[in-house]
Amino acid sequence: MHDLAQNIMDNLIPFFDLFILALNIFSIVVLIWGVIMSGIDFLKSERANRNRVVMARQNNFIKSFLGSYILLSLEILIAADIIESIIKPTFQDILKLAILVVIRTVISYFLHKEIEDALKDKENEADEKKVI
């Protein structure tokens, strides 16, 4: 029975390797897409003639928008790393995964806080416009 399970895993490893590669590539595509979209929004914001306070708020929102794409990209990379550590469970891979998860979790936490702050600023700006 153990030989059958090992044989099945040995046959599935090339598929999982391709899947991991696809996830890594997809993560890069998500990140590049976020950079492009944020760049377009930044250029549009810079072309509009507004005062500096409004532009600073808009830039914070754009930064948060980019941060959401970075978070998504990091989560996809974590998923790929988890799959890789399952199919190749060496101590070095598990240690590498643990370190990457800690680093990405810290980054994700602070990016999430920035996104929340930017959304609150955007809501406050919308409320100020309603009052005026």
**pLDDT of 72-100, one tens digit each?**
898 898 888 888 888 877 888 778 778 87
Q: What is the pLDDT of residues 15-35, one digit of tens each?
A: 999 999 999 999 999 999 999
C-alpha R_g of the chain: 21
How would residue 131 be classed by pLDDT, with cut points 50, 70 and 90?
A: low
Residue 132 confidence (pLDDT) above 70 = no
Q: Within a 10 A sphere around the Cβ of 66, how many other Cβ atoms?
A: 20
Where do the structural domains in the chain lie, given as residue ranges?
1-131
Q: What is the pLDDT of residues 35-65, one digit of tens each?
A: 999 999 999 888 886 777 778 778 888 888 8
- The structure's pTM equals 0.73
- Contacts of residue 117, defined as CB under 8 A and 6 or more positions apart, other chains included, come to 60, 64
Q: Kindly report the length of the chain.
A: 132
